[in-house]
Structure 1
Amino acid sequence: MFSRISLSVAALLVGSVLAGAALAEPVTVHSCNRDVTFDKAPERAISNDVNLTEMMLALKLQDRMVGYTGISGWKTLDEKLREGVKELPELSPKYPSKEVLLGANADFFFAGWNYGMKAGGEVTPETLAPFGIKVYELTESCIFVMQKDKPTMDDMFVDLLNLGKIFRVEDKAEALVTGYRKQLAEIQAKIGHVDQPPRVFVYDSGEEKPFTSGRYGIPTAMIEAAGGTNIMDDVEKSWTEVSWEPVIEKNPEVIVIVDYGQVTAAQKIAFLKSNPAFKNIDAVKNDRFVVLPYVEATPGPRNIEAIAALAKAFHPSSM
């Protein structure tokens, strides 16, 4: 009996040591044009923007975080996210300064280019490295610092899987992504083959000139996943300002309204309907508008439910 108990205890001890060793092994992930190695899982992480913060929450990483930035300044905090962050402090309403991150004694910053960082700005992977703050960059945003392919939903999945590796919660990340892929496949199975994808325009903001998503923004991937085509697919940018002339000329059949900030979605739709210049646009004539909250129109866990909403608007008879 004694020897059996001793062997069992020894086996448990060996298992614990091996598990601890696995957690202690360095992990390297690809972030834009860099390889980043993490000797251990971050313990004082900060995320920027609502969608990146939701990726952290989807992986249940609240206990590894000391706060978040860049949400209330854009008025994108909703009840679902408010419940998720609970007692975590917002350290900066918009982009954080280097001092904000250092003041929180952060060891990890999850951000992106134009999602908390600007090329050549004060807060970048290079400026934070001397202080021991490692950065993982949102994949969609890499177009601002390197050449990359047009995005697909895999960009968001890769970010979740990489966060899983960084924080040593790979199983949780893989389960999430498997579930999202299954939901996406079910949506696309309902849509089936589309001979003539509806022409879609993403209207973020702006009256004199619209701010929209071009070829490299995640809405292009979402629209395509829902069986549509972004009329700004030929604009070699992620999120950018364009003129109204090409919008009118390309005559979108559906307009996606990104809902956030001071101007409401209803006000944006009213502007489009009241302006005589837009009266012949099919989407305006037929009142075909889809409203997506900012958190659904940027890379994150809510993209899949947004794709379902887009598919229903594009192909009501199939969904």
Structure 2
Amino acid sequence: MTTLKMVKYFGLVAASTLLLGACGQENATEAQKNTDKKSTEQVEETTFPLTLNNYTVSSEGAVFSEKEITYEASPKSIVANNQGTAELLLQMGLAEDLVGVAALYGEGDETVADDFASIPVLSEGYVGKEIVVGADPDIVVGRGQLFASAEWGTGTVEELNEVGIQTYIQATSTTDATFEDLYTDIANLGKLFAVEEKAQEFSTDVEARMDEVVAGIPANQEALDYAYLFEVEGTNVDIYSGAADTYLNDSLSYMDLNNTFADVTGEISVEALLEADPDVLLLVNYTGGRDPKESLADLKANDALSSLTAIKEDQIYTIDYNQFWSYGYQILSGMEQLSAELYTEN
């Protein structure tokens, strides 16, 4: 396995090999009924010191613990530890506050592309603590699994705090996260960076987009099972369980899509895939990875997989890494595209 593939693959499976299970998924109707109407909330101006319920994470970036954090003042310089987090902050008008971004592994959001281009890129891959500290930020914001002591990690919450850098871990990236946690992150970040009105406007936009996704599901649509394929080359097929990615699994449940391997940890064999026979296969595309067209061709030419329903019925869809694994609003773009391909074009 190449170094790039090992690093990227860890980005998907680190938590699932150390944690157990995923939260139960609601069906689309129940999930939508439970969505709070954020647009009716009154925007209140934040006062400091500000205390937020957030998280710390173990040194390997896998086991989360709740942590109450007090911020004495609004941070003025930010490092986003991945592309998706930077885009989320840009949506709230924080372009001038971003002093660094890393982990550019997927298709960017065109609506913030110009502002994103102005952010210093600390690393196109995952970024280490030394480089993060060198950017001299007040705070590091992002995906929880990347707050690790490993070479590819930004350093733990405690390590960063020791050198005077605060942290905010996205709730969407933690154990048992659901789509509702996106609203929590938007509200918290709005308070933390004193952009409450911008945050509220964006939260309302997110809710409206999810409403449209749910409304676009055909009447009487039966729920479909899916499986993630991380990489396909020749007869080699890497099947990813997604057990730890409860935010992603819950989001897709709004589309009546259920992860076949949501309760599975560790490696998944081709035999297990054949036995499960999911209705849909989701082929992951990421920057630096193999051309998904070549992977798709190999997948369809693999005689060992020819009995799969998804292959026989041509229910294989390419999904973008940034949209699906940024643990942010980008999942909506992925869902909108997938819905159009899955429900409209067929």
Higher alpha-carbon Rg = 1
The equivalent position to 1:223 in structure 2, one of 240, 252, 266, is 252
Deviation at 1:112, TM superposition (A): 2.2
Structure 1: distance between partners of 2:172 and 2:328: 11
Q: Is 1:176 matched up with 2:176?
A: no
Structure 1: distance between partners of 2:81 and 2:102: 5
Deviation at 1:293, TM superposition (A): 1.4
Q: Kindly tell me: are residues 192 and 36 of structure 1, through their superposed partners in 2, closer, same or farther at Cα, counting changes over 3 Å?
A: farther
Q: Kindly tell me: are residues 188 and 78 of structure 1, through their superposed partners in 2, closer, same or farther at Cα, counting changes over 3 Å?
A: closer
The equivalent position to 2:316 in structure 1, one of 289, 292, 313, is 289
| 1:248-259 superposed matches below 5 A | 248-259=274-285
Q: Is 1:268 matched up with 2:288?
A: no
Deviation at 1:211, TM superposition (A): 3.1
Q: Kindly tell me: are residues 179 and 79 of structure 1, through their superposed partners in 2, closer, same or farther at Cα, counting changes over 3 Å?
A: closer
Q: Kindly tell me: are residues 156 and 23 of structure 1, through their superposed partners in 2, closer, same or farther at Cα, counting changes over 3 Å?
A: closer
The answer to whether the Cα contact below 8 Å between 1:226 and 1:308 also exists between their aligned partners in 2 is no
Moved over 6 A (4+): 119-122
Question: Match for residue 137 of structure 1?
Answer: 169
Q: Is 1:118 matched up with 2:170?
A: no
Question: Match for residue 160 of structure 2?
Answer: 128
Q: Which has the higher contact order (CA 8 A, sep 6+)?
A: 2
The answer to whether the Cα contact below 8 Å between 2:49 and 2:70 also exists between their aligned partners in 1 is yes
Deviations 1:36-81 (A, max 9, x none): 121211111000111111111111211111111222xx4x364736
Question: Match for residue 228 of structure 2?
Answer: 202
Question: Match for residue 162 of structure 1?
Answer: 188
Question: Match for residue 132 of structure 2?
Answer: 101
| 1:56-95 superposed matches below 5 A | 56-71=89-104, 74=105, 76=106, 78=108, 80=110, 82-95=113-126
Question: Match for residue 68 of structure 2?
Answer: 35
Q: Kindly tell me: are residues 58 and 79 of structure 1, through their superposed partners in 2, closer, same or farther at Cα, counting changes over 3 Å?
A: closer
Question: Match for residue 309 of structure 1?
Answer: 337
The answer to whether the Cα contact below 8 Å between 2:87 and 2:109 also exists between their aligned partners in 1 is no
Structure 2: distance between partners of 1:130 and 1:266: 47
Local SS of the residue matching 1:213: coil
Query: Residue 140 of structure 2 aligns to which amino acid in structure 1?
Result: F
Q: Kindly tell me: are residues 278 and 268 of structure 1, through their superposed partners in 2, closer, same or farther at Cα, counting changes over 3 Å?
A: same
Structure 1: distance between partners of 2:310 and 2:331: 23
Structure 2: distance between partners of 1:127 and 1:98: 9
Structure 1: distance between partners of 2:48 and 2:231: 46
The answer to whether the Cα contact below 8 Å between 1:58 and 1:301 also exists between their aligned partners in 2 is no
Query: Residue 316 of structure 2 aligns to which amino acid in structure 1?
Result: F
Local SS of the residue matching 2:214: helix
Local SS of the residue matching 1:204: strand
Q: Kindly tell me: are residues 244 and 309 of structure 1, through their superposed partners in 2, closer, same or farther at Cα, counting changes over 3 Å?
A: same
Structure 1: distance between partners of 2:82 and 2:257: 27
Question: Match for residue 6 of structure 1?
Answer: none
Number of aligned positions between the proteins? 284
The answer to whether the Cα contact below 8 Å between 1:205 and 1:212 also exists between their aligned partners in 2 is no
Local SS of the residue matching 1:280: coil
Deviation at 1:83, TM superposition (A): 2.3
Aligned Cα root-mean-square deviation (Å): 2.5
Q: Is 1:26 matched up with 2:53?
A: no
Q: Kindly tell me: are residues 234 and 200 of structure 1, through their superposed partners in 2, closer, same or farther at Cα, counting changes over 3 Å?
A: same
Gaps of 5+ in 1: 1-21, 144-148
Deviation at 1:23, TM superposition (A): 5.5
TM norm structure 1 = 0.80
Deviations 1:196-228 (A, max 9, x none): 301111222263532342253433123211111
TM norm structure 2 = 0.74
The answer to whether the Cα contact below 8 Å between 2:225 and 2:279 also exists between their aligned partners in 1 is yes
Q: Percent identity?
A: 24
The answer to whether the Cα contact below 8 Å between 2:82 and 2:143 also exists between their aligned partners in 1 is no
Query: Residue 306 of structure 1 aligns to which amino acid in structure 2?
Result: G
Query: Residue 40 of structure 1 aligns to which amino acid in structure 2?
Result: A
The equivalent position to 1:49 in structure 2, one of 82, 88, 99, is 82
Query: Residue 89 of structure 2 aligns to which amino acid in structure 1?
Result: M
Deviation at 1:27, TM superposition (A): 1.6
Q: Kindly tell me: are residues 164 and 122 of structure 1, through their superposed partners in 2, closer, same or farther at Cα, counting changes over 3 Å?
A: closer
The answer to whether the Cα contact below 8 Å between 1:111 and 1:137 also exists between their aligned partners in 2 is yes
